[in-house]
């Protein structure tokens, strides 16, 4: 199931708009990764499987590009990502 943007971007103003555009881009790319990986798992055709896997990998790069831009605009996001990493380390007894 693909996500939908839960708001109308054109209604957002100021510096929040750029952050929401980037988050919407991340959502779209993660949906694409999920779709392509699921389709690759379903097919028995090795050529199709290879192409879908390659495209999914490219979409992961796009996630990273959007995230890099977002982190340049949102210090709170940086702080919360670090907080989440530390929580996982605490729950798992160290590096994951």
Instruction: Note the pLDDT tens digit of each residue in 16-45.
Output: 899 999 999 999 999 999 999 999 999 999
> Residue 38: its pLDDT value, please?
97
pLDDT tier, 96 (very low <50, low <70, confident <90, very high otherwise) = low
Rounded Cα distance, 22 and 62, in Å: 11
Rounded Cα distance, 31 and 56, in Å: 10
Q: How many CB atoms lie within 10 A of CB 10?
A: 7
The overall longest dimension of the chain from CA atoms, in Å, is 48
> Residue 1: its pLDDT value, please?
57
Instruction: Note the pLDDT tens digit of each residue in 42-69.
Output: 999 999 999 999 999 999 999 999 999 9
Taking alpha carbons only, the member of 67, 60, 63, 5 closest to residue 37 is: 60
Q: Kindly tell me if the per-residue pLDDT of 11 is higher than 90.
A: no
pLDDT tier, 8 (very low <50, low <70, confident <90, very high otherwise) = confident
Domain spans of the chain? 16-92
Q: Kindly tell me if the per-residue pLDDT of 89 is higher than 90.
A: yes
């Amino acid at each position: 199931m693909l996500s939908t943007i839960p708001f109308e971007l054109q209604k957002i103003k100021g510096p929040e708009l750029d952050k929401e555009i980037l988050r919407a881009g991340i959502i779209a790319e993660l949906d694409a990764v999920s779709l392509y990986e699921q389709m690759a798992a379903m097919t028995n055709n090795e050529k199709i499987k290879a192409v879908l896997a390659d495209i999914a990998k490219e979409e992961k790069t796009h996630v990273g590009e959007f995230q890099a831009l977002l982190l340049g605009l949102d210090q709170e996001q940086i702080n919360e990502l670090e907080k989440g990493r530390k929580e996982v380390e605490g729950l798992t007894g160290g590096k994951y």
